[in-house]
Structure 1
């Protein structure tokens, strides 16, 4: 397992040295190397760029004396303000990076949306719920700068993959719940989202379908026996209600990656909240990185977004 122990970040004011551990074990290339033997036909996905699409990398959305957090913005420079899609990478709450969401973000932007790949603090650096705070702060920042990014701040979806899917579902089901807000982050905007896209992320940590263990325990500050409250609080299923926005589940063929989904759907249906399930048959976890499943993921995502926002 590779770790970078010292990071230098370059910002407009100069060089800021920040020291924190980074787990680099989960990457597109490392995942490809693991999957290619079982799926010899796969290819790492690329994306098409729209003629009016713009990209700004490493936009600072949060900064204090110890840490600077960034996002990558993909948006169309046309006159019409587009819905915004917040994108959360996976990696077991411990690894991964916002760069992994760039291809998906670029492709969805070409379909008429604005996408934002978010950096957030991982479990080697900060435990739950800090990463949730980070993404909600990013949502507020994006809304505060809606004109710059050409977005409609009242049409925001949150999309996450794997552990990022778990986070996306939790963020969407806790809209404006002050228990999940960073009290120190000042903004004129709310972190409310109008739609959720959960790509192979669990909905409940402690559930008959769940197989979460060491990775979850490390992020949640202990095992279920040691810290049951965090395991319950971090489960989107426990916050699902009549106020939950519409949700799309895109799942692999492995049931463990949607633990709690069917129970959540029962609550959504009871409250007449629109939801969809799309299962990509015979696919591995992390399917969204690769063809032929990447195109299918984009189609399901944009069809859902078109239904909700357009």
Structure 2
């Protein structure tokens, strides 16, 4: 039985024994979806279309895998794999959806996961706890748990455990970036001391997400006094003046060191959403940390949800990871 046949067998067995009974259910109050975003953007970008979530013959989809439990709360992921057996293990990538830390669905990243699987990656789209359920830093705990799950199951799914990346869009980009730069810090990884499996990543892809909550420009949007609370304020449980330590602690820019993983900043033409990446690069450069900045021209925020921007985004990520993983065999 080859690898793909084993994966199919395991997925079917799990379904039979009831290990995948909790599925992603849309919450009417959770409005960050490709459909609602399309309605906001189509007037200014009449040529766009929602990227397809149809799974091609070349890709295998395994849905509703529980990767972490908190009591009765099950966090799940969907896995996308290339069907063609690889000559060796392939790179893995965990994808973190956006939505202002309080909304969004893992299915928002399904089209990108499919595109990456078509290029030979094993891609996992994950559900994590949003701010109306648990505040910061719970989402970081969840992302690290998903990374650990993928590494723990790397042999089963043909993933190279030394080639795992984390990526996210918007708030998910900030979450992914923070998860990637905080290796070895138990505050962000409660499982660290009781697990022999690492949650470290070898690359980070921050898609139009903040790198610094504390800058004046970021606070202009994220600490807007007209919003009570703002999206960031709801996540932190208070405004900047009330929770300065948390706003700083959640900013990836303050964790740069010589061991920081390579980072791709994939940004839109709307600079407010990727604030802090230039300053973060200024810290990375003298330490020799690899980085790349790629902008999708004339694009809105959430560009990765739509054609014609999804495919070039996947190509940029693919080429970045090829370059970064060429030496981590």
- Counterpart in the other structure of 2:79: 73
How far apart are residue 294 of structure 1 and its match? 1.1
- Counterpart in the other structure of 2:176: 168
- Counterpart in the other structure of 1:248: 264
- Counterpart in the other structure of 2:215: 207
- Distance change >3 Å, CA 207–CA 47, structure 1 → 2: same
C-alpha separation between the residues in 1 aligned to 2:97 and 2:21?
26
Residue pair 1:105, 1:117 contacting (<8 A) in 2 also: yes
Q: Kindly report the root-mean-square deviation, in angstroms, between the aligned alpha carbons of the 2 structures.
A: 2.3
Q: How do 1:1-310 residues align onto structure 2 when only pairs under 5 Å count?
A: 12=18, 23-46=29-52, 51-77=57-83, 78-79=85-86, 80-183=88-191, 186-210=194-218, 211-213=221-223, 214-310=230-326
- Distance change >3 Å, CA 258–CA 64, structure 1 → 2: closer
- Distance change >3 Å, CA 259–CA 59, structure 1 → 2: same
- Distance change >3 Å, CA 14–CA 40, structure 1 → 2: closer
How far apart are residue 238 of structure 1 and its match? 0.9
Q: Aligned pairs, how many?
A: 300
Q: Deviations over 1:121-175 (max 9, x none)?
A: 0001010001110110111111111112210111111110000000111011112
- Distance change >3 Å, CA 81–CA 50, structure 1 → 2: farther
TM-score (norm: length of structure 2): 0.86
SS at structure 2 position matched to 1:68: strand
How far apart are residue 16 of structure 1 and its match? 7.6
C-alpha separation between the residues in 2 aligned to 1:239 and 1:50?
40
Which has the larger share of helix? 2
Residue pair 1:247, 1:274 contacting (<8 A) in 2 also: yes
